[in-house]
């Protein structure tokens, strides 16, 4: 996918060296942005193999609303480094997507009470009843959680917008690991856009992505330079069973035509 390679090239060319909490320096750019036309196919990076199955399990876990990884870790270990021994995760995206804690005053008592908000469900409701709305925003950032979480949400908010028959999605990310994280983010939110578009009677349009701190770890540079020598292959096709979002299972997703170059090993910075 050319948009991804152009992002890699910009950060390699323009990034400045920075230290960070992991102890492995990065080269970093501020406020990188790109847009992908989903009508041209499913944007799964082809210049290296992306673990589609692991990413799919992660998206379904988000949509489940679970705040632990006990079920997820049966399929993928990608969140193990940030969970406790019992599998509990301080920052579980799906918890905030589906059960965001909102403090509201009870008029009868004058006291705050916490009500959980299903943000995904609310977006689906608006798309079905008021698709012109500019309030279809989902947030994973809860300030109290961010104060103590081992890894506060990186891709912390996204919004949907309708243009005619097309459903568009914009993701804002505070911190983006270009080598490892961004290919997963592209695939995950493009898939989510397709899921919600099918649920609400729209066609996937554009996925747009802003990364506030777009960075490359210095031990990823050689691998990314290798990727830049490769030519993107045609995008694969993602087919999703037409079921309500709450009924979707792993076997309801079919990826076809995914042709990719050899894997490239990148170490995870924890």
Residues with catalytic annotation? 154
Using DSSP bridges, classify how beta strands 100-105 and 16-18 pair: parallel, antiparallel or unpaired. Answer: unpaired
- Name the nearest CA neighbour of 4 among 33, 38, 26, 29: 33
Q: Which residues contact 247 (CB under 8 A, 6 or more apart)?
A: none
The strand ranges marked E within the chain are 16-18, 26-37, 100-105, 112-117, 137-139, 155-163, 166-177, 203-217, 237-240, 253-256
Q: Which residues contact 122 (CB under 8 A, 6 or more apart)?
A: none
Token digits for 24?
């492995």
Q: Mapping DSSP to helix (H, G, I), strand (E, B) and coil, where does residue 44 land? A: coil
Token digits for 113?
């009470």
């Amino acid at each position: 996918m050319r948009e991804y390679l152009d992002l890699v090239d910009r950060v390699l060319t323009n990034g400045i060296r920075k230290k960070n909490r992991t102890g492995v320096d990065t080269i970093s750019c501020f406020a990188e942005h790109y847009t992908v036309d989903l009508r041209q196919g499913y944007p799964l990076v082809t210049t290296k193999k992306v673990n589609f199955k692991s990413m799919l399990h992660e998206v379904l876990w988000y949509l489940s609303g679970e705040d632990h990884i006990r079920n997820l870790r049966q399929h993928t270990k990608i969140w193990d480094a940030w969970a406790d021994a019992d599998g509990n995760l301080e920052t579980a995206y799906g918890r905030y997507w589906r059960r965001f804690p909102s403090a509201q005053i009870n008029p009868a008592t004058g006291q705050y009470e916490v009500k959980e908000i299903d943000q995904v469900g609310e977006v689906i409701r608006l798309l079905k009843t008021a698709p012109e709305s500019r309030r279809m925003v989902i947030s994973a950032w809860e300030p109290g959680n961010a104060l103590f979480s081992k890894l506060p949400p990186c891709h912390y908010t996204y919004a949907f917008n309708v243009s005619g028959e097309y459903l568009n999605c914009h993701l804002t990310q505070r911190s983006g690991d270009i080598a490892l994280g961004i290919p997963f983010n592209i695939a995950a939110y493009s898939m989510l856009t397709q899921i919600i578009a099918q649920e609400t009677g729209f066609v996937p349009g554009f996925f747009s992505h802003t990364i506030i701190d777009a960075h490359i770890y210095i031990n990823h540079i050689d691998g990314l330079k290798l990727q830049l020598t490769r030519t993107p292959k045609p995008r694969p096709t993602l087919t999703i069973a037409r079921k309500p979002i709450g009924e979707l299972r792993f076997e309801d997703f079919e990826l076809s035509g995914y042709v990719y170059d050899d894997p490239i090993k990148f170490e995870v910075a924890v």
